[in-house]
A and B are shown apart, each in its own frame.
Chain A
Amino acid sequence: MLNYEKKTEGSVLTVILDGKLDTGTAPELTAAVEPETDNFDKIVLDMENLKYISSAGLRLLLSLHKKMASKGGFIIKNVNETNMEILEFTGFADILNIE
């Protein structure tokens, strides 16, 4: 189960996540966020209330990162311990911009 809320602040889109980013929920979030990459210079994912992220979620993060790299960028913030560990051992922590 994943709930999300989009907040726009000029050319920056912040998406606040609540729940699990897994096989079941990743397609929905992908559909909601990916089209916005053309509309914003910067996309921020707030993961404070994200319980965990699975490999399906990682795929979305990688895709967003690649698309936003030429612009203001893609940022994730408020990463919890579970997710930080997953990002670290998969090497994503070295690639993504984490605040």
Chain B
Amino acid sequence: MKKKGNITKRTLVSVLLAAAVLIGSISVSTGLQLRKVLIEKYTDFALSYVNAAAEFIDGDRIELYYSTGAKDAYYEEISKYLNSTADSSAKEANIKYFYVLIPDSVPDSDLYTYIWDAEPYDEPMDLLEKYPFSEGAKERAQKIYNKEITEDVQSYIDAEDGTHTLTVSVPLLDSNGDVAAIIAADLSVSGINNALVRIISSILIPVAGIMLLTMILFYFITKRKIIEPIVKLQSAAEGIVDHIESDEPVNIDVHTNDEIEMLADSFTGMTDKLREYIKQNETITAEKERIGAELELATRIQADMLPNIFPAFPERIDFDIYAVMTPAKEVGGDFYDFFLIDDTHLALVVADVSGKGVPAALFMMMSKILIQNQVMSGKSPAEALEAVNSQICSNNREEMFVTVWLGILDLETGLLIAANAGHEKPIIRNGSGDFELFKDRHGFVIGGMDGVKYRNYEIQLEKGSSVFVFTDGLVEATSENDELFGAERTLEVLNKVKDETPETILKKTEEAVNAFVGAADPFDDLTMLCVKYTGREDGGENEITIENEVSEIAKAVDFVSLKTEDLPFSFKDRNQIEVAVDEIMSNIVNYAYGDKKGKATLKLQTDEEGIIITVEDSGIPYNPLEKEDPDITLSAEERGIGGYGIFIVKKVMDEIAYRHAEGKNILTMRKFFLK
């Protein structure tokens, strides 16, 4: 909403109101005071007249006039005197009536009797004419007669014409000092009001004029010194918001030489600071985004560090392995690892680095590589851990440490040799029993102290055994009610799915943990590794190696033909397997080594579901599965001659996988038995 500036209007209205109140109150107080003074003056004036008349008139003669009603020369003389006094006073004191009266002595009568009456504006009353007292006047006349008061001053407003009248009365004494009559004068006070209006207006007009001038001056000063600078500040503020990102200097043209100019200067300073902060903020935000992107990349690199393509060893039927690592933060400190040391030894690692975030992730990377190097060099788990410990301790100023469970499984004999550096106990299912916590001997954490010794322990696994290793993120997963998931629950979940594949076992366990944790924040990384040892079937010689000669291909085909002879395959299946072997070997012979000599090895394994054929060569890395399928809708003329080999293999075999490891192309194919 756009707001309209109206300080000017408000100021004007306030000043006007103040002036009105001021002028009003001056008028009223001056008027009242003046009126009081004037009325006192008039009263004194009237009193002086009636007192003079009281002195002048002979009180002893009143009785005669009152009783007889006869006028004599003295009476006429006094009449003249009163009339002339009233006339002459009319201009100054405005005497309307000047009269001598006697109240009726009858108690019930409200009348009084005129003795003399002089009225400059009206027909006077005659001797002995009667007239009623106005309210209260009779009682006061009585008091004068009783000499309780020596004068009476009353002012009243005529109900009919609204004229304001002042009446003064004094006693007229006889020679004995008794009251013979009352002499009174009525004065019109209307003249006073007119005088008041004149006086007040003569004061007020110049005052009002001066006030108006002052006001206008005040208004212009306010406008120029306060409102206009404020408007400038306001439009400058808007301008700054609109052009906050420009480098144009802000210059607010306010030179009032007072607080407003100070405000404008502060405002200019504030704008520069504001722009500076905005620029800083932009830099910081960009930096944050960059760090965020790098963290994401780091997370991916970390994830890629761990073997995370499953099935990890599709050509191996003697064991099945699966592992998961779910970091609580972007990058975690947990890790798992597994790798074949040679054809018959599988290394298993689960570890938990102290701390979290990037430092833990870096430490984790280092630990993983060191462990793998030591294990690959042929050391036993305990020796490997000791070597890694001394490597880490030699340069561990940050005093980080890592707990590690390291096992090496002999895939021929099922003997598991393991060592534990302060890590969670493994859970082992030996043979067809239940998963049980294996109470192993713990060594000290890696990185904690140089020269620590670790001890190997051995477990003879029967075929069908499973080993489950994890980090504390599993047993210390916390529900919303602050309960720990614990080893009991872990065993319970594991034993429910103990006959499933390692992949299913881990997925079900993770589901159970997630359901348990609910809406609570995952506290720690969750890492689990499960390996199921199935062992090898005794199949004798199941491998053939050929040279890269076309004539050698038949050897491999015949080998497979011989090996599959007694297996539950149809005639067509056997032909298809042979075609597939021919195609794969043909590819290797023709392309893998270019013009050079080379070898190809074919291994054949059998399990309860079918056969697994693994073909390895050390030639140019090449994933045949990435080759595009030929367009089988093309006409004969449009067709090329290539691309059908791998396509046929994909079609006739049930599963096919490729990986490149240790400088070898390893292609694995599966064909299932007849159902």
Contact = CB atoms under 8 A, between A and B. Distances in A.
Given A55-B645, A89-B632, A95 B639 contact: yes
Contacts of A22: 553, 557, 578-579, 582, 586
Interface string A28-61: 0000000000000000000000011111101100
Interface string A1-35: 10000000000000000001011100100000000
Contacts of B550: 23-24, 27
Given A23-B553, A24-B553, A86-B579, A95 B645 contact: no
A22 to B, nearest CB: 4
B397 interface: no
A82 interface: yes
Contacts of B652: 85-86
Contacts of A59: 641, 644
A81 interface: yes
Interface string B572-588: 10011011001101100
A66 B636 CA distance: 7
- Chain A interface size, as a band, is 20 to 34
B551 interface: yes
Contacts of A95: 635-636, 639
Given A24-B553, A55-B648, A86-B648, A91 B633 contact: yes
Nearest to A52: B575
Contacts of A65: 636
B574 to A, nearest CB: 9
Interface in B313-346: none
A89 B576 CA distance: 13
A70 B631 CA distance: 24
Contacts of A52: 575-576, 578-579
Contacts of B644: 55, 58-59, 90
Contacts of A23: 550, 553, 582-583, 585-586, 589
Nearest to B650: A89
Contacts of B630: 90-91
A92 to B, nearest CB: 8
A33 B551 CA distance: 21
B586 A54 contact: yes
Interface in B615-668: 630-637, 639, 641, 644-645, 647-648, 651-652
Interface string A76-99: 000001100110011100111000
A1 B554 contact: yes
A85 B651 CA distance: 10
B447 to A, nearest CB: 57
A64 to B, nearest CB: 10
A90 B572 contact: no
A54 to B, nearest CB: 5
8 contacts: A20-B578, A23-B550, A51-B578, A55-B648, A56-B645, A69-B636, A89-B632, A89-B651
9 A-B pairs with the lowest CB-CB distances in the bound complex, closest first:
A91-B632, A55-B644, A23-B586, A55-B645, A82-B575, A52-B575, A22-B582, A59-B641, A95-B636
Given A23-B553, A90-B632, A90-B644, 18 more contacts: A22-B578, A22-B586, A23-B589, A24-B551, A24-B554, A51-B578, A52-B575, A52-B576, A53-B579, A56-B645, A59-B641, A63-B641, A82-B572, A85-B572, A86-B651, A91-B630, A94-B633, A95-B635
Interface of A: 1, 20, 22-24, 27, 51-56, 58-59, 62-63, 65-66, 69, 81-82, 85-86, 89-91, 94-96
